[in-house]
Structure 1
Amino acid sequence: MAFSLSLLLPIGLTTFLLAVDAAISVGLVSSMVAFLHHYGRGPFPVANPAGSYFLLAGEPANLVTDQGHTTNAAGGTALVLVAFGGMIALWLERRSRKKRDSSSPVFYLWALIVLLSWLLTLVALIYTFVETSKTGNQFIDLAVAEANPAPVKYPDNRWTPENWYSAVLDLPLVRDNNRRIISGNLTIMRAWRWNLIPLFILGFVLLALVALEVLRVRRKDTQRIEVVNPVLPSK
């Protein structure tokens, strides 16, 4: 007989929502990486006060990208190990409960993976927002940029891709096409950073549901053992 009041259905639904959001996260970060490796390298013509222009390298000398790698790892873990792995774990769990009226060891292993995945998402969330805040409120000095034209990279400060291209848009870019493409990709960079919040929330909800289910099953097993092997009163 299957356990009553099972949380497997809400767990499955939450896992599906997490998979969708994780896929969005991976897709957005991958889009940013593709931009950085191709169009984002520049160079971009920038007007100077003399009425001419100079070429600005597409990336600064000190570009920080580790937060993007961490976010991609968090999204990939949630998508592959938690979501796809969860489909297998939940299928095996339902099968085990129907056949043996007991829980599958794979389900407990998956519960541990859910916890580790959520912790990784938490690290990515904190790291990304802290790094973005630390490197924010900066601007590109036009004189320094003109003194270091492409292929030389802008030497001052540390930059996340989001903060760098936001500062690039504040410059008098010569080509509107450059501004349009950078602006569109800047929106993508901001989107994957903010998407960490729903990824974190969904991961927490899933973790809470899985933890409640594990505790419920444990309690059910304990009650069944007490029924089968009652404790006899001492004489």
Structure 2
Amino acid sequence: MASSRSLLLPIGLVLSLLFIDAAISLSLVSSMVAFLHTYGGGPFPIEGPFESTFLLAGEPAHLVVNQGHTTNGANGTVLVLVGFGGCIALWLERRSRRKYDRSSPAFYVWALIVFLSCLLTLTALIYTFVETSKTGSQEIDYSVARATPAPAHYPNDRWTPENWYAAVLELPLVSDDDRRVIQHNLTLMRGWRWNLIPMFLLGFALLSLVVLELLRLRRRSTQKVPMEEVLA
């Protein structure tokens, strides 16, 4: 019985798409981190009663950022271990099949890394959306914000960066430049959160192709199909 065609080519194509998507995600998270450490720290002038103003510290007292660290961990795993590691593993696999008529151990190690990476991405996806949902219905109490002069941080509740700056935009900001910069960076924050969905789907597609190729290799070893058919 002839074996099915090799899946190494589609594996390589999906790997390329996943690598690009992870690079985009990493750049979006990095832009958020840069914003938090520079402009996002404020303070922002807010319109008060009787044409007065007060300053709001750019970050709250209880800022939640672990979901960003988890996402960056998933991004780094995809880029380094799955991406660069995958290029090496696929090269060794093709070389081993052509030269030694057998599969490379590196391909099996890489398959395990792809599985763990997919789990990590799923964890980041769930964690980020749950944390954002838990803190998404909050509003900044105007009276508390007024009574908390900068550089003191707004003391109420826990906030993700995305939800905090969305709430800041609901306040009467004095500067249109502040509003424009915050809105731009808020869009980037929402972008990396939603980008976790295609990153997980691509990771799952890659894992599925790798598993199918491993099953094909197992059938080939059981049926003793010539390596020429495996490379077809």
TM-score for both structures, normalised by structure 1? 0.93
Query: Residue type matched to 1:49 in 2?
Result: P
Which residues of 2 match residues 117-132 of structure 1 at below 5 A? 117-132=117-132
- Matching residue of 1:147: 147
SS of equivalent to 1:157: coil
**Could you report, residue by residue, the CA deviation over 1:144-167 in whole angstroms, capped at 9, with x for unpaired residues?**
001001100000000000000000
Which residues of 2 match residues 77-88 of structure 1 at below 5 A? 77-88=77-88
SS of equivalent to 1:195: helix
CA contact (8 A) 2:40 2:58 kept: yes
CA contact (8 A) 2:4 2:216 kept: no
Which residues of 2 match residues 140-179 of structure 1 at below 5 A? 140-179=140-179
Cα distance in 2, alignment partners of residues 137 and 54 from structure 1: 24
Larger Rg, first or second structure (1 or 2): 1
- Matching residue of 2:230: none
**Could you report, residue by residue, the CA deviation over 1:51-100 in whole angstroms, capped at 9, with x for unpaired residues?**
10000000000000000000111111111110111000000000000011
CA drift at 1:219: 1.1
Extract structure 1 runs of 4+ deviating beyond 3 A.
none
Cα distance in 1, alignment partners of residues 62 and 194 from structure 2: 23
- How many residue pairs end up in the alignment? 223
Segments of structure 1 that go 5 or more residues without pairing to the other structure are: 226-235
CA drift at 1:4: 5.6
- Matching residue of 1:222: 222
Cα distance in 2, alignment partners of residues 100 and 5 from structure 1: 19
Query: Residue type matched to 2:114 in 1?
Result: V
Cα distance in 2, alignment partners of residues 49 and 143 from structure 1: 11
Percentage of pairs with the same residue: 71
**Could you report, residue by residue, the CA deviation over 1:183-227 in whole angstroms, capped at 9, with x for unpaired residues?**
0000000000000000000000000000000010011011119xx
Cα distance in 2, alignment partners of residues 143 and 100 from structure 1: 74
Which residues of 2 match residues 1-235 of structure 1 at below 5 A? 5-224=5-224
Query: Residue type matched to 1:175 in 2?
Result: S
Cα distance in 1, alignment partners of residues 101 and 171 from structure 2: 67
Query: Residue type matched to 1:36 in 2?
Result: L
**Coordinate RMSD, CA, aligned:** 1.0
Cα distance in 1, alignment partners of residues 101 and 58 from structure 2: 61
SS of equivalent to 1:54: strand
Segments of structure 2 that go 5 or more residues without pairing to the other structure are: 226-232
